[in-house]
Structure 1
Amino acid sequence: MTRKLTTIGFDADDTLWHDERFFRITQDRFAELLMDHVPDDLDSQALGERLLAAEKQNLGRYGYGVKGFTLSMIETAIDVTEAQVPACVIQELITAGQMMLSYPIELLENARTAVEALADSHRVVLVTKGDLLDQERKLAQSGLGDLFDGVEIVSEKTPQIYADIFLRHGDGAERAMMVGNSMRSDVVPAIEAGGWGTYVPHGLIWEVEFAPAPTHSPRYTEIADLGALPALVAEIG
């Protein structure tokens, strides 16, 4: 019998290992550093909204990842203080960004066992966005690198990109599944490319990655954590 699924794509950040919490820690530090230099009506929530707006605007310029986030913090600090932010605060923001590039990698529960189990029977591919050097660092530190048949670090995740990746590393999107914590980047475009999209919720998610669940699609699935993935793949066949 012809197998329906031959290739499994995994997202990296907040699917295989923790990531978003480090952005939240740094954003809290950003607000702390600026509180003495902004008008009283700008509380930490308002600063966070201004920072998010800058991040969205800058995605086309800087892409995803720590470097773009750090530049957006600096830009927002200059903007909200009307260019009066002290140089020492800018230096602290740069330091905070640099610290994000050195946080240790902590795998999420069942990440290793799920990848190992599926690597025995399917082609497994890592598909992730972000800074090239940072993503390579995290993959190397995760200890999962040798399990993947392919690694794709892309600037955006679109249906066409998934179609190309799953053709390059497998038998096309129709026989592939993408697994991740982002509806917008991992699930929806993979389904639109003709594949399966499996949503694995994470406690923290960047606002930019929100999208409605494609519950109308028979190729949409959701699991509580990666521990349920091997059984789901076996069920699909």
Structure 2
Amino acid sequence: MRRKRRSAPVTATIFPAPVPPTVPVSGEAAAFPVRRIFCVGRNYAAHAAEMGVEVDREAPFYFTKSAFSLAGAGTLPYPPGTGDYHHEVELVVALGRPAFRIDPDEAMGCVWGYAVGLDMTRRDLQAVAKSKQRPWDLGKDVENSAVIGALTPAAAFQPGEQRITLHVNGEPRQDAPLSDMVWSIPELIADLSRYYHLQPGDLIYTGTPAGVGAVQPGDRLEARVEGLEPLDVAIGPAA
């Protein structure tokens, strides 16, 4: 009777495995490794209104981006397949502890730090998806579209009334206090933890205030949250 041959243990990959993305930490040599990116939709009432919809106050809703869509400060290429690429400045929350089915009053203990970010969006493709009741992936999960500045540890920053702003070529586009968020940070973490085993390395982009708009190659963006490291990017030629 012929014996079955055992498969050899996997010791290598058929092509080089991608290096996990990381985010720099303010004042530190070590970087923050990123696992997943969750984004909150319509978390500022004025932004929902400018998009022609109302905030769903029964529960927050989410979409995701690949961790490999992360980008930092510098020049970012204008992406393919769009003629209407929009900026959305956001506060980003970085998790440093696991969370599953936790209460809001426990949620802040899971936060490792904060950063200012940009949820860049192919608005024309998102609009087509909405009109056909399709997922937003082509509009949202775009290469280099999850832009993020250096993280500030939670011990050095307490979200409250700080202003979140965006300037394009020196002109103000977005400006609101963080307190305008419909769903607070602990509420978002607790709600997400009902559906996911949240882990260290997960990022939450917490939504954008009103004033979103299109950018063009050559534009310079200055994203700010008071008390956090600034984020400056330029839009380069189409890739």
Structure having the higher strand fraction is 2
TM range (shorter): under 0.3
- TM-score w.r.t. structure 2 length? 0.23
**RCO higher in structure (CA 8 A, sep ≥6):** 2
- TM-score w.r.t. structure 1 length? 0.23
Structure having the higher helix fraction is 1
